[in-house]
Chain A
Amino acid sequence: MGALVSLDTLLADRRLWRGQPTARPASVEPTGHAALDAALPAGGWPESALVEVLLPADGLGELRLVLPTLARHTGAGRDIALVAPPYVPNPLAWRAAGVDTARLHLVSADARDALWATEQCLRAGCLSAVLCWPQKADDRALRRLQVAAESGQALVFAFRDARAAAQPSPAALRLQLAPGQLQVLKCRGGLAPAQPVPFPLH
């Protein structure tokens, strides 16, 4: 006798692929970008998970990707944190994007402590989203973040250099950013779309 698995939970879990298309339930974590939502199997960000964003260079729209989500979270009265950001987040522009900067917390840490701080922020459970820029993170460190995100029910975005694309990653969603487009490298609960998602610069 194996463990009994309820059919409902199995079907609700997006890890199971069914032959015929069904109406997709509305995602609880929409990205705010319609084209990206349509391309992702969950219809938005995976819940309480690690999202890895790979960038060849800064300034390609990596913040525009997450700002609608952050605006939604702070608007709902949840706190978010940036752990060791590479630049100063300009509060005027963030506010213009709808983010409540009073709920935005910055943590400055060196590369060694940044992963620790990120994990603490995630496990605490009082932050709904954490952004981090891990410099030298192996897949074990990323797995820790993934587990911490699950236990703290928080969304974590890890921004990494595009050279890390070849490394294996435990992230629930991996996106590669290029000028004007987004490539989904991996997504839990479905096949990654082969075509890049258009992501206009402005």
Chain B
Amino acid sequence: MLWACLLLPHLALDTVLRRHPSPEEPLALVGGPRPRRVLSAVNEAAAARGLHRGQPVAAAEALCEGVRLVDDDPARLARARDFLAAWTYRYSSQVSTALPGAVLLEVQGSLGLFGPWPRFEAALREELQALGFRHRIALAPSAVGAAVLAAHQDGLAVTSHEALRRALASVPVARARLPGGVAPALSRMAVRTLGQVFALPRAALGKRHGVELLDHLDRLLGQAPEVLPLYQPPDVFDAKIELNYDVESSQALLFPLRRLTADLAAYLAGRDGGVARFVLRLGHEDRPDTEVVVGLLAPERQPGTLFELARGRLERVAVSAPVRTLRLVARELPPFVPAARELFEARPQQAVEWPALRERLRARLGNESVYGLDPVADHRPERSFKRRDGVAEPAPPAVCGPRPTWLLHRPVPLRDPAPRLLAGPERIETGWWDGGDVQRDYYVVETSRGQRAWAFCAPGERGPFMLHGWFA
């Protein structure tokens, strides 16, 4: 294992400065409890005016009029760390932000792609520079060792354990990230550098300063395994494309949309998942965003399908103002289970699976437009079926008399001068307990045009008839 440490000594300040319009003006970060707030970091311009870390806010304002004071925000710091971890993740699958102010990445496996190390390091430095983070980089066979070396000497790269021991020998104990209280105790014993610590008898060192010190030294030298919490990419896909011009037609949005859906598909393939629902946000100049929700019944991850679906929804949206930004947010990312198919299946060439066809129809006709019907055990005809959007469930059989194949959405008067009664009556009298009270006598009726109808009338009467279905 080879660990590279990107040490960010001014992370909190850089996080503010990199987004600041004029970073050359005096600026200071303020931290500490409310009544006694002190400066926690200052930029170069502020330092030149005499401001320094730990100074009370009142003193700083007296020294330098017009200094910009920014609150120290832990959440902002955490976001910056996550951002750096996500950025580093493209170079290595093992990234950790466990050590404060540092990003660690395992590079042994990445050297084949980005190496050799000097070139890899130059690329890292160039990108960090462009991102606006001051940094120190070191390479070592152990993670803590790399972090300690980065703080000691920028650009140091050691690849063997012996070289690591030699390089660490000159590091002062105060900078070796030793467990709490050990470093002052060692310096009181006139032990100034790690080299002197390594020379001390191990057993005595452990007895005097505790096992934690021995563990730490072992991990420093790469002799004990290191357990670091590794960075996991977030479970949300959020990508945005800024358009350089106002877009007024949905046709012109198709190209950025294709890029976004392709990115989403690549992201989904990387985490072996699918997407069940995503939102397209069309950003306008000075209006709230237009949201286009693309919902799917089954997880999907084919770039072509995702693009077609998003396009179908987008083309139906009336956008009120020119579009400046296009953003795609996907939060529901369930596991993707590819449909099992037969190896030798005789199918037409351009065959589309039913789920894909269903999504295509829903995209144009509306979310509610494709469904199935399941029977329900209820004698009232209007309640004897229910919509099904997903998988059918086994339904109870509950038939007594003849039932028509067509049911009218609601009964209408049967307009026929002389209907002929073929069967009936079948009395349906139920529902008094749930408010849908029904008392009807149903007949099978033949109309004068030869149609078979299912009609009802009030109990005990022979008309007028209400038509409720056709025996088609």
Partner of A92, one of B392, B403, B409: B403
Mask, A77-96, CB within 8 Å of B = 1, is: 00100000011111111111
The verdict on A88 contacting B406 (CB below 8 Å), with A125-B348, A179-B450 known, is yes
How distant is A19 from chain B, measured CB to nearest CB, in Å?
Answer: 35
In the bound complex, how far is the Cα of B351 from the Cα of A116, in angstroms?
17
Measured as residues with beta carbon below 8 angstroms from the partner, the interface class of chain B is 35 or more
The total of chain A residues at the interface (CB under 8 A) is 49
Whether a CB of chain B sits under 8 angstroms from the CB of A184 is no
Find chain B residues with CB under 8 A from A56 CB: 449
Nearest chain-B residue to A159 (Cβ)?
A: B472
Tell me the interface secondary structure of chain A in the complex. mixed
- 1/0 per position for B89-114, CB-CB distance to A under 8 A? 00000000000000000000000000
Instruction: Given the known inter-chain contacts A61-B472, A126-B354, please indicate yes or no for A113 contacting B372, CB distance below 8 A.
Output: no
Cα(A113)–Cα(B381), bound, Å: 29
Q: Which stretch of B126-134, B159-167, B363-371 is in the interface?
A: B363-371
Docked-complex contact A126 and B384, CB < 8 angstroms: no
State which residues 430-472 of B face A: CB under 8 Å: 446-447, 449-453, 469-472
Cross-chain contact of A87 among B398, B403, B407 (Cβ < 8 A): B407
Contact B469 A90 (CB under 8 A): yes
Give Cα distance in the complex from A63 to B472, angstroms.
5
Instruction: From A59, A92, A113, give the contact of B471 (CB < 8 A).
Output: A59
Task: Report if A14 contacts B (CB, 8 A).
Answer: no
CA distance A86 to B351 in the complex (A): 28
CB contact under 8 A between A60 and B450, given known A90-B385, A92-B375, A93-B405: yes
Identify the stretch in A20-28, A99-107, A135-143, A187-195 within 8 Å (CB) of chain B at 4 or more residues.
A99-107
User: How near does chain A come to B389, taking the closest CB pair, in angstroms?
Assistant: 11
A64 lies within 8 A of chain B by Cβ: yes
Residues 51-62 of A, flagged 1 when their CB comes within 8 A of B and 0 if not, give 000001111111
User: A91 near B351 (CB under 8 angstroms)?
Assistant: no
A88 touches B408 (CB 8 A): yes
Name the residue of chain B whose CB is nearest to the CB of A67.
Answer: B405
Q: Hey, which chain A residues are within 8 Å of B392, CB to CB?
A: 101-102
Interchain CB contact under 8 A, B385 and A87: no
Counting from the closest, the 9 A-B pairs by CB-CB distance are: A179-B450, A59-B470, A102-B392, A59-B451, A125-B351, A87-B406, A125-B348, A63-B472, A124-B352
Known: A89-B373, A93-B405, A107-B365. 16 other contacts (CB 8 A): A57-B449, A59-B406, A59-B451, A61-B471, A62-B472, A89-B405, A96-B403, A97-B405, A101-B373, A108-B370, A120-B360, A125-B348, A126-B352, A126-B357, A179-B450, A202-B452
13 contacts between A and B (CB under 8 A): A57-B450, A60-B451, A60-B472, A62-B472, A63-B406, A89-B373, A92-B385, A92-B403, A95-B397, A106-B370, A126-B352, A151-B348, A153-B348
Q: Which residues of B contact A (CB under 8 A)?
A: 347-348, 350-354, 356-358, 360-361, 364-365, 368-375, 381, 384-385, 391-392, 395, 397-399, 403-409, 446-447, 449-453, 469-472
